[in-house]
Amino acid sequence: MTQTSARFPAMLANLNTLLSRYGESMMWLARYMERIENLARLLEVTEAFVRNPDGSPGWDSILQINSDEDRYAAIYPLPATEENILAFYITESTNPTSIRAMAHMVRENARSARPLISTEMWMQLNVFTRSMMELSTPDIRRHGLSGLCNRLKQDCQTHFGITEGTLYRDQAWLFYLLGKYLERSDQITRLIDIRYHTLLPSGETSGSQMDITQWGSVLRSAAAYHAFRRLQPVTTTPANVVGFLLKNEGFPRSLMLNLRQVDSTLSALSTHYNLRHQCGPLQERIINMRATLEDQTAEEIISRGLHEYMTYIQDELAALQAEVSATFWPAAPVTVREEISIPQ
């Protein structure tokens, strides 16, 4: 009998065999886990800190951040009540932005990518998603909203930690990172856009001192409060907060840092996995976005129109996601490239 292992040495060297479906699943796995963590933080901060002018918790702003107003109104009466908002965002399986629906999506993507992800990752996701999908309203009441949100954040962070420590670093990892950084970029722009305009509705000057608690809550929603304090111990102005969340180079959820990470992830795919051809146009888009961010101060962005700029970034991110999909997992039948169809 011939030595099979000696006859087929090239198997391990074949770097370009990541299935498109795996790339897609890894990307969405990361995006949904980021989204769950983010939503948990938002719910918790809203309950504790965000107030309407009459002093009641500002639940409406969550609907705006997630662009969920219409979907919500289709299921529940307006104005939004705390009970309905929590049901909508935690247990409502017909709402795709609820914890339950997102946990389901995480589970499907994790099952699809199960041949690739580490056993430790799978075990934690298996237990986490199952318990989230079984969450009921009495569970929420029993543990309290902040108890639940803390658990959610912790489970998400456990996932990110296990992944960092155990997932093999190949293309699957890079697509996972791409999803994570794109999601963070998107989330931070949504948060800034909505909260800025609910706090400063009528063109008040952005440089003025304002309600410290409310702007603190914006920072807390992005887990940025203490980092910001360290950097800006004296003055909290809207422009400072916006500038920190958009442009800070060291804060893990700032737009600047995440766009840079998207760029370097694409570079890694391009150079290490011979995907130059595919990554080129994607990187160009990112470079343009980064340039608009680097070339303006926060004050300039605000005076030229913060909402318009945030919309521009969100549109660009959506276009980038669509291009990633069309490039790496095209839905339409692919034609065989010539170099491949040469008979073996």
Partner 1 sequence: MNRPVLQSPIPSPASAAQAPAAKAGMFAAYDTSDFFCELMRRTDEMPPSLQTVRDRLAGFDLDELRHRTSTAEAQLYRLGITFTVYSDREAIDRILPFDMIPRVLTAAEWDHIDRGVQQRVKALNLFLRDIYHERHVLRDGIIPADLVLNNPNYCEAMVGVRVPGDVYVHINGTDLIRDRSGRFMVLEDNARTPSGVSYVIENRHMMLRLMPDLASGMPLRSVEEYGLKLHQTLCEVAPEGVTDPQVVLFSPGIYNSAYFEHVFLAREMGVPLVEGKDLIVENHRVYMRTVAGLRPVHSIYRRLNDEYLDPLAFNPDSMLGVPGLVEAYRRGNVTLANALGTGVADDKAVYAYMPRLIRYYLGEDPILDSVQTNICAEEEGLAYTLANMDKLVIKPVGESGGYGLLIGSQATQTELDEFRAKLLEDPSNYISQPVIDLSVSPTLCPSGVEARHVDLRPFALTGKNTWVLPGGLSRVALRKGSLVVNSSQGGGSKDTWVMAR
Does residue 89 belong to the site contacting partner 1 (CB under 8 A)?
no
Pick one of 212, 234, 332, 334: the residue that binds partner 1 (CB under 8 A): 334
- Closest CB 12 distance from partner 1, rounded Å: 8
Q: Does 23 bind partner 1 (CB under 8 A)?
A: yes
Query: CB under 8 A: which stretch of 73-81, 94-102, 114-122, 177-185 binds partner 1?
Result: 114-122
108 binds partner 1 (CB under 8 A): yes
| Residue 136 DSSP symbol | -
Query: In this structure, are residues 133 and 104 in contact, taking their beta carbons and an 8 Å threshold?
Result: yes
Candidates 56-64, 159-167, 252-260, 268-276; binding stretch for partner 1 (CB under 8 A)? 268-276
> SS3 for 51?
strand
Whether 65 and 194 have beta carbons less than 8 Å apart is answered as yes
How far, in Å, CA of 86 to CA of 144, rounded?
11
Q: What is the DSSP letter of 57?
A: B
Residue 202 interacts with partner 1 (CB under 8 A): yes or no: no
Q: Which is nearer to partner 1, 108 or 323 (CB)?
A: 108
Q: Which residues, 123 to 152, sit near partner 1 by CB under 8 A?
A: 123, 126-127
Radius of gyration of the chain (CA): 22
DSSP string computed for 282-304: HHHHHHHHHHHHHTS-HHHHHHH
Q: Choose which of 76, 122, 160, 312 interacts with partner 1 (CB under 8 A).
A: 122
Question: Would you count residue 267 as binding partner 1 (CB under 8 A)?
Answer: no
Beta carbon of residue 330, minimum distance to partner 1 (angstroms, whole number): 8
Q: How far is the CB of 41 from partner 1 (least distance, A)?
A: 27
Q: Please answer whether residues 217 and 49 qualify as being in contact, where contact means their C-beta atoms are separated by less than 8 angstroms.
A: yes
Among 97, 112, 248, 261, binds partner 1 (CB under 8 A): 112
Looking at beta carbons only, is 43 or 178 nearer to partner 1? 178
Classify burial at 331, counting beta carbons within 10 Å of its beta carbon; exposed 0-12, middle 13-18, buried 19 or more. exposed
Q: Which amino acid is at 1?
A: M
Least distance in Å: CB of 329 to partner 1? Answer: 7
Provide, rounded to whole angstroms, the least separation between the CB of residue 78 and partner 1: 32
Least Cβ distance, residue 172 to partner 1 (angstroms) = 10
Phi, psi of 213 (to 5 degrees): -60, -45
CA distance 310 to 316: 10
Nearer to partner 1, 84 or 126 (CB): 126
State phi, psi for 51 to the nearest 5 degrees.
-125, 140
Among 56, 75, 115, 204, binds partner 1 (CB under 8 A): 115
Residues 25-44 close enough to bind partner 1 by CB under 8 A: none
Cis peptide before 57 (omega within 30 of 0): no
Return the SS3 of 76. Answer: coil
Is residue 321 involved in binding partner 1 (CB under 8 A)?
no
**What H or E segment, with its residue span, contains residue 151?**
helix 137-166
CB 185 within 8 A of CB 253: no
Residue 73's contacts (CB-CB under 8 Å, 6 or more residues apart) are none
Told to check if 203 binds partner 1 by CB under 8 A, we report no
The neighbouring-strand residues paired with 284 are none
By CB under 8 A, name the one of 54, 70, 79, 119 that touches partner 1. 119
Query: What is the contact surface with partner 1 in residues (CB under 8 A)?
Result: 1-2, 4-5, 7-11, 14, 16-23, 108, 111-112, 114-115, 119, 122-123, 126-127, 171, 175, 273-275, 278, 328-329, 333-337, 340-341, 343-344
